[in-house]
Amino acid sequence: MGAYNLVCVSSLALYRRYRPESFAEVIGQEHVTDPLQQALRNNRVNHAYLFSGPRGCGKTTSARILARCLNCEQGPTPTPCGECQSCQDLARNGPGSIDVIEIDAASHGGVDDARELREKAFFGPAGSRYKIYIIDEAHMVTSAGFNALLKVVEEPPEHLKFIFATTEPEKVIGTIRSRTHHYPFRLVPPGTLREYLAEVCGKEKIPVDEAVLPLVVRAGAGSVRDSMSVMDQLLAGATDEGVTYAMATSLLGYTDGSLLDAVVESFAAGDGAAAFDVVDHVIEGGNDPRRFVADLLERLRDLVILAAVPDAVEKGLIDAPVEVLERMQAQAGVFGAAELSRAADLVNEGLTEMRGANSPRLQLELICARVLLPATYGDERSVMARLDRLERGVNFSGGGAGPAMGYVPGPEAHGGAAAPPPGMTPQAGGAPHVPPAAQVPPGGGPAAARAAVRGGAGARTGSAAGAGAPGPDAYGVPGAVGGQPAPAVAAPPAPQEAPPAAAAAR
C-alpha cells in the first residue's frame, strides 16, 4: 500500500504536488490575499466573489483556500488549522468536500445547468458551516444562465457562498459583477517566480543549472502553473548531472547564449563574416530562424536597458545569471547608443516581416545585412549610427584622428595614387598635407569627429566665415538642412598652371 501511494504521488504533476493550501503559500498575489485574510479576521465575508486574471496565476487555488478558511472548525479564519475534517477534505491530496462544489462552466454553462444549481443551492450544507459553489471559467456561462442565477446570487440564503473564477471578467454580465467583490489577479514577477522554482527544485533534490531558471520563467510568461509544467518536463528528463543548460535550450527551443553573444559582438565590430557564420550555425543546427530573431531581439532589449539604465540589475529590470550579466554589460559598452537602438529597431522590423515568410533564412540574412551596412541607407537612424561608429573609432585624447570603425580604404590602400582633395597639397611619399584649419579642433567630442570626417571642406568654410553662426552640422547631422541630407556638391577644378609668357608679364 505504501509503494502504491508513492507511485501515485510521484505521478502527480508538479503544480498539483505543490498546490498552496493557505493564503501564505500563494506567491505574487499579496494585493489579493492580504485583503481577503483581513476580511476573514474582521468577519466581513461577502456572499459572492469574482476572481479574475490570466491563466495559472492562482484564481481557482485561492477559491479553494477561501472555502477551506470559511469551513474550518476554527473559522472563519485566515489560517486553516489543517486538522479538522473539513480542512483534511479540502487539503492538497484530499478527497474533497460534499459542501464545496466545483463547476466547470465551460461544459455546464447553459440555462438548464443554472436552474439545477439554483434548485440545489437552497438545501443546507451536509456537515460544514457553508455551502460553497466555485464556478470556474465563469465567462463561459451563457446570458440566459447568468439571468437564471441572478436572483440567488443577489439574495442568497445565509449558508450559501459563490466564488466565480474567470480569465475574461468583461464577459460576466454586469448585473452579476455588481453583486460580487471583484479581486483581479495578475502575473507573477520574474524574480519571485524564479525564487519559487529554485525552492521547488531543492525540494525535488534534482540539481538544476542556474542558467535554466530564467529560461523556465520566460517560457512560463508569469504563469505559475505554466512554469511548473515546464519545470516538470525538464525534471522528468534529467540525467545524473541534473538539468543542464544545453538540455533546456534544446528542449524548449531557445537559442544558445553563445550564438547570441557571437552575433551581437559581430554587429558591434562590423564583422560580416562572423555574423553570417552564426546564421549558418543556426540553420545547420536545426534552429528556427524566427525563434533566433526573437531571442536576438530580447538580447538587444537587455543591452538597450543596460545602456540607458546603468543600475538596471539592481532595480530588477534584467533577470539573468551573473556571468551573463557581465557579458551583456561588456557588449553594451562596445555598442554605441545610436547604433544599438538602430539594430534593435531593424531586428524588430525584421521579426515582423518574417511572420508568414516562405524563406525565413533569407529574411534572417537580410536583417544581418541591414544591421551591418548602415552606409547603404540614408535615413536618420543610419546617419546617426555611422557617426556613432566614427566617434567611437577616433582618438580624441591627443587631438588627432585615428582609424574609425567601419572605415573603407581608398585607392591608395590598393597601390594606386589618389588625387589629393581640394585644400591639400601633395607631399613627398604621396601623403597629402592637411592645412592647420582642417586639423581636429582641440577638446575632442562629436564636433571633432565630424570635423575630421569632413576634412578641409568644413575647415575652409569655417575660416572664410570666421566666428559666424553655426552651420547645420553643429546640431548633430553633418550637412543636413531641416533634417534632410544636403545634396552632394562637386569640388571646384584645381587652377591650371599659367604659361611662362604670362608669368614673365606679371
DSSP codes, 271-300: -HHHHHHHHHHHHHTT--HHHHHHHHHHHH
Q: Are 459 and 438 in contact (CB under 8 A)?
A: yes
pLDDT at 450 over 90: no
> In the predicted model, what is the mean pLDDT of residues 270-287?
91
pLDDT at 341 over 80: yes
Q: Are 49 and 42 in contact (CB under 8 A)?
A: no
pLDDT at position 378, please?
55
pLDDT at position 387, please?
64
Tell me the helices (H) and strands (E) count for the chain, helix number first.
22, 9
> What mean pLDDT value characterizes the chain?
79
With cell 444562465, the residue in question is 145
Type and span of the H or E element at 35: helix 30-41
pLDDT at 14 over 60: yes
Place 395 in a pLDDT band, splitting at 50, 70 and 90: very low
Closest CA to 223 of 255, 257, 196: 196
- 487: cell is 545634396
Q: Are 289 and 282 in contact (CB under 8 A)?
A: yes
- Locate the domains of the chain by residue range: 11-184, 190-252, 257-380
pLDDT at position 165, please?
96
Q: Are 269 and 234 in contact (CB under 8 A)?
A: no
> In the predicted model, what is the mean pLDDT of residues 142-165?
93
pLDDT at 20 over 60: yes
pLDDT at position 332, please?
86
pLDDT at position 464, please?
40
Place 320 in a pLDDT band, splitting at 50, 70 and 90: confident
pLDDT at 29 over 70: yes
With cell 452579476, the residue in question is 176
What is the Cα–Cα distance from 403 to 177, expressed in whole angstroms? 68
Place 389 in a pLDDT band, splitting at 50, 70 and 90: low
User: Which DSSP string corresponds to 350-402?
Assistant: HHHHHTT-S-HHHHHHHHHHHHH-GGG--SHHHHHHHHHHHHHHS--SSS---
Share of the chain above pLDDT 90, in %: 48
pLDDT at 239 over 70: yes
- 17: cell is 504536488
pLDDT at 420 over 70: no
Q: Say which range, 250-254, 322-326, 482-486, has the weakest mean pLDDT.
A: 482-486
Q: Say which range, 100-109, 115-124, 131-140, 379-388, has the weakest mean pLDDT.
A: 379-388
What is the Cα–Cα distance from 14 to 207, expressed in whole angstroms? 16
pLDDT at position 75, please?
78
> In the predicted model, what is the mean pLDDT of residues 460-475?
43
pLDDT at position 502, please?
44
Name residue 417's beta-bridge partners: none
Looking at domain 11-184, its CATH class is: alpha beta
Q: Are 97 and 89 in contact (CB under 8 A)?
A: yes
Q: List CB contacts of 424: < 8 A, sequence separation 6 or more.
A: 432, 433, 434, 435, 438, 455, 456
CATH assignment, 190-252:
1.10.8.60
What is the Cα–Cα distance from 118 to 121, expressed in whole angstroms? 5
CATH assignment, 257-380:
1.20.272.10
Place 342 in a pLDDT band, splitting at 50, 70 and 90: confident
pLDDT at 30 over 90: yes
> In the predicted model, what is the mean pLDDT of residues 154-182?
94
Q: Do domains 11-184 and 257-380 have the same CATH topology?
A: no
pLDDT at position 277, please?
94
pLDDT at 215 over 60: yes
With cell 575660416, the residue in question is 463
Q: Are 200 and 18 in contact (CB under 8 A)?
A: yes
The model's pLDDT over 363-375, given as tens digits with 9 standing for 90+, comes to 999 999 999 886 5
What is the Cα–Cα distance from 326 to 303, expressed in whole angstroms? 11
Whole-model pTM: value is: 0.68
- The residue type found at 396 is F
